[in-house]
Amino acid sequence: MTNIFTNDLIKGWDRNTIASKIANDLPHSSYVNLGIGMPELVSQYIKEDREIIYHSENGLLGMGPSPNENEIDLDLINAGKKPVTILPGGSFCHHADSFSMIRGGHIDYCVLGAMEISVTGDLANWSTGKGIPAVGGAMDLVAGAKNVFVMTQHLTKEGKPKLVRECTLPLTGAGVVSRIYSDYAVLDITNDGFKVIQLNEDITIEYLRTVTDGNIYQ
């Protein structure tokens, strides 16, 4: 049974630190799809020793940063429908081609948020089971990208573990997650459970066990 210390405030890595850890693990010349929200931060931490090409599923390969106010073009947006830019070497394509890049296994890495991740790599991140169901491209990304990285807080806002034996929310994909970057640790999904790759300096493995539901080993 999981022991939850909701009032025990352990300050994990901040989102910028998590983003920089992910950025360090993306190899030179990889094609990457960053999910909307927190994963977008990753692009700010890519070191100069490498070049990464960003894909946006609405038909843009070679996506650049946000434009200046006077350069906004509402025909040039990302998957979150926010104005972006295209870099030299970039290209546009239609939706079926863009999703062939994903579904055909051409995208090397995608980075997504999560509500729950199971010890076998199941991911739930599209539906709380309430409200209007809306999936977007999440199911395609987790099924098709070669590596699925999850960037998340270790606990929910209510202090419950997001890393669980079995997801309770509707799945986005089954057995799809490769690696989890949380504020407490970096963990790989393996046949034996969650394998700790890196533990936050302020956290012990014993504590991590109490806030994770599922086998953890180092």
Catalytic residues: 57
Taking CB under 8 A as the rule, which mask of x and - marks residues 90-129 in contact with another protein? --xxxxx-xx--xx------------------x----x--
Q: Does 170 bind another protein (CB under 8 A)?
A: yes
CB of residue 129 vs another protein: minimum separation in angstroms?
A: 9
Q: Which residue, 38 or 143, is less far from another protein as judged by CB? A: 143
Selection from 139, 140, 129 nearest residue 169 by Cα? 129
Count of residues that interact with another protein, criterion CB under 8 A: 41
CB of residue 63 vs another protein: minimum separation in angstroms?
A: 9
For 20, phi then psi, to 5°, come to -70, -30
Q: Does 60 bind another protein (CB under 8 A)?
A: yes
For 157, phi then psi, to 5°, come to -60, -25
Rounded to 10 degrees, the C-alpha dihedral 17/19/24/27 comes to 180
Q: Which residue, 15 or 90, is less far from another protein as judged by CB? A: 90
Of 172, 182, 200, 212, the one binding another protein by CB under 8 A = 172
Of 4, 10, 86, 196, the one binding another protein by CB under 8 A = 86
Which stretch, 18-26, 136-144, 152-160, 204-212, contacts another protein (CB under 8 A)? 136-144
Q: Say which residues have a Cβ less than 8 Å from residue 165's Cβ, sequence separation at least 6.
A: 118, 119, 213, 214
175: region left, alpha or beta (phi > 0 left; psi from -120 to 50 alpha): left
CB of residue 66 vs another protein: minimum separation in angstroms?
A: 14
Q: Does 81 bind another protein (CB under 8 A)?
A: yes
- Residue 20 in tokens: 């920089």
Tokens 């990208």 belong to: 145
Q: Does 199 bind another protein (CB under 8 A)?
A: no
- Residue 186 in tokens: 């970096």
Q: Is 64 exposed, middle or buried (0-12, 13-18, 19+ CB in 10 A)?
A: middle
Q: Does 197 bind another protein (CB under 8 A)?
A: no
d(CA 218, CA 160): 22
What residues make contact with another protein under the rule CB under 8 A? 56-60, 73-77, 81, 86, 92-96, 98-99, 102-103, 122, 127, 131-140, 143-144, 170-175
